[in-house]
Amino acid sequence: MMNSIRNQFPILKTRVRSLPRRGGAKSLVYFDNAATTQKPEIVLRAMDKFYRSKNAPVHRGVYTLAEAATAAYENVRDQVRDFIHAAHREEIIFTAGATASINAVVAGYVETSLHRGDHILLTDMEHHAMIVPWQAAAERKGLEVDFVPLTSDGRVDIGVFKKALAKYRPKFVGITHVSNVLGTVNPVREMIAAAHKIGAIVLIDAAQSAAHLPIDVQKLSCDFLVFSGHKLYGPTGVGVLYGRKELLERLPPFIFGGHMIEEVTREKTTYAPLPAKFEGGTQPVAEVVGLGAAISFVQGVGFNAIQKHECELSAHMLKGLKVISGLTLLGPATTQGRIPVFSFTISGIHSHDVATLLDREGIAVRAGHHCAQILHSNLSPDASVRMSLGVYNTVGEIDRTIAALHKIQEKFYA
Ligand SMILES: Cc1ncc(COP(=O)(O)O)c(C=O)c1O
């Protein structure tokens, strides 16, 4: 199965680092999937085909081509609804990505429902995309942003979370489904239930989970959920904001302009019903079509197969990392309750050096704080190296990486 999946991703055939002194070109090992994933042929072809045969403005034309473009766009809304098991298609809003979706929810809530002194509860594990919009809003509106501390191995303890709920009585809770640094899956269902008990609204950041775990917004009972297309084997520039219908109906629009209106007069504007209310301006139609193809790709492989494969990758990676001396893995070293994202430091070697030396072997990893400075300040003094794997990665690529890490470690300690 693995070869048939890999063959669908043309970029994985790339050879990099063609320096003759260093042994010539190396086949690419792409381990930066938490930042962005590569795109399968089905996505590339869908977008190409859209531009070649269906491109026209959506929702606005009565001619055949415009109707075809609108149908292509709106079909993806149904696909996303099915993908995350939303109750209604109008609960699916297309945005520019997870960051744009979070910003939209924050802006709407701050404007309509939050008042000076209200508390917002986040965890120490959040990506900056969740922290920064709330902090900026808090400054403007006089809100308090509180953080749930993590356990020493980087988990959210449900007991600690419940205590924070009782202490701060937040109006709004923002939780990442999966950590983009540690790969750990949070107990979001329990967390949502606990937050609802005190009347808080909950936003789930599914940017890191959407490509790895099935999502059912009704079973989770979340109020809002966001993700990006480009971390799900789809294109950049498109993402999803899911919101419960009654909440979206109360939320004000965040982009004002064409398409999102019902009527405009000199005196005032009334807004279109959902979902148009949130989709002002010309939408990224080809990207939405690409997102639909990406969802078809993921559903074609199936989450059972994805999880089985990724669990094998995690077990192999953890075994390999364990024997590299001086290496500290951030977060828990378990195969269960995680996606294949691994961040680590090697004592005495700066993480940026590790990443640069891995690149010389053709291995693409990330070094830095991974847009999670609060998490990093808890777990590691400065940067870490992150290796994030996806459905097309192999045990052979892990072996190559572990061998390269041994070489780096020996070189620095020689
Ligand atoms: C957990 C998490 N949330 C949000 C984001 C933001 O996603 P985007 O940059 O696609 O808007 C990321 C991206 O790395 C992420 O990892």
Task: Find tokens 């098991």 and name the residue.
Answer: 85
Measured CA to CA, the distance from residue 384 to residue 344 in angstroms comes to: 5
pTM exceeds 0.85 for this model = yes
Distance 278 CA to ligand 1 centre (A): 20
What is the CATH number that goes with domain 44-300? 3.40.640.10
Q: What is the average pLDDT across 275-301?
A: 97
Query: For position 1, what pLDDT does the model report?
Result: 62
Query: For position 374, what pLDDT does the model report?
Result: 87
Q: Are 57 and 282 in contact (CB under 8 A)?
A: yes
Which residues have CB under 6 Å of ligand 1? 97-99, 127, 129, 176, 180, 205, 207-208, 228, 230, 371
Distance 397 CA to ligand 1 centre (A): 25
Task: Find tokens 């097309």 and name the residue.
Answer: 392
Q: What is the average pLDDT across 232-240?
A: 98
Measured CA to CA, the distance from residue 239 to residue 308 in angstroms comes to: 26
Query: For position 137, what pLDDT does the model report?
Result: 97
Express as a percent the part of the chain with pLDDT over 90: 88
Express as a percent the part of the chain with pLDDT over 70: 97
Catalytic entry in 185, 349, 371, 375: 371
**Homologous superfamily of domain range 2-30+302-413:** Aspartate Aminotransferase, domain 1 (3.90.1150.10)
Q: What is the average pLDDT across 349-360?
A: 94
Distance 95 CA to ligand 1 centre (A): 13
Query: For position 18, what pLDDT does the model report?
Result: 61
Measured CA to CA, the distance from residue 248 to residue 25 in angstroms comes to: 51
| pLDDT greater than 70 at residue 414 | no
Which ligand 1 atom is nearest residue 231's CA?
10
Query: Which residue from 184, 215, 228 has its CB within 8 A of the most atoms of ligand 1, so it is best to mutate?
Result: 228
Ligand 1: residue whose CA is nearest its atom 7: 98
Q: Which amino acid is at 197?
A: K
Measured CA to CA, the distance from residue 307 to residue 305 in angstroms comes to: 6
- Which band of pLDDT confidence, cut at 50, 70 and 90, is reported for residue 61? confident
Domain ranges of the chain: 2-30+302-413, 44-300
Query: Which residue from 32, 208, 224, 232 has its CB within 8 A of the most atoms of ligand 1, so it is best to mutate?
Result: 208
Helix axes 303-322, 285-301, angle to 10 degrees: 80
CB-count burial class (<10 Å; 0-12, 13-18, 19+) for 411 = exposed
- Mean pLDDT, the chain, rounded, equals 95
Q: What is the average pLDDT across 196-220?
A: 98
Query: For position 25, what pLDDT does the model report?
Result: 85
**More confident position, 411 or 106:** 106
| pLDDT greater than 80 at residue 23 | no
Distance 61 CA to ligand 1 centre (A): 34
Query: For position 130, what pLDDT does the model report?
Result: 98
Q: Return the sign of the alpha-carbon dihedral for residues 246, 247, 250, 251.
A: negative
| pLDDT greater than 90 at residue 376 | no
Ligand 1: residue whose CA is nearest its atom 15: 207
| pLDDT greater than 90 at residue 208 | yes
Q: Which amino acid is at 5?
A: I
Query: For position 21, what pLDDT does the model report?
Result: 60
| pLDDT greater than 90 at residue 381 | no
Measured CA to CA, the distance from residue 340 to residue 278 in angstroms comes to: 34
Q: Return the sign of the alpha-carbon dihedral for residues 145, 199, 278, 126.
A: positive
Which ligand 1 atom is nearest residue 228's CA?
10
Radius of gyration of the chain (CA): 22
Q: List pLDDT tens digits, range 109-137.
A: 999 999 999 999 999 999 999 999 999 99
Which ligand 1 atom is nearest residue 126's CA?
1
Q: Verify whether residue 222 is a known catalytic residue.
A: no
Measured CA to CA, the distance from residue 199 to residue 196 in angstroms comes to: 5
Q: Are 58 and 200 in contact (CB under 8 A)?
A: no
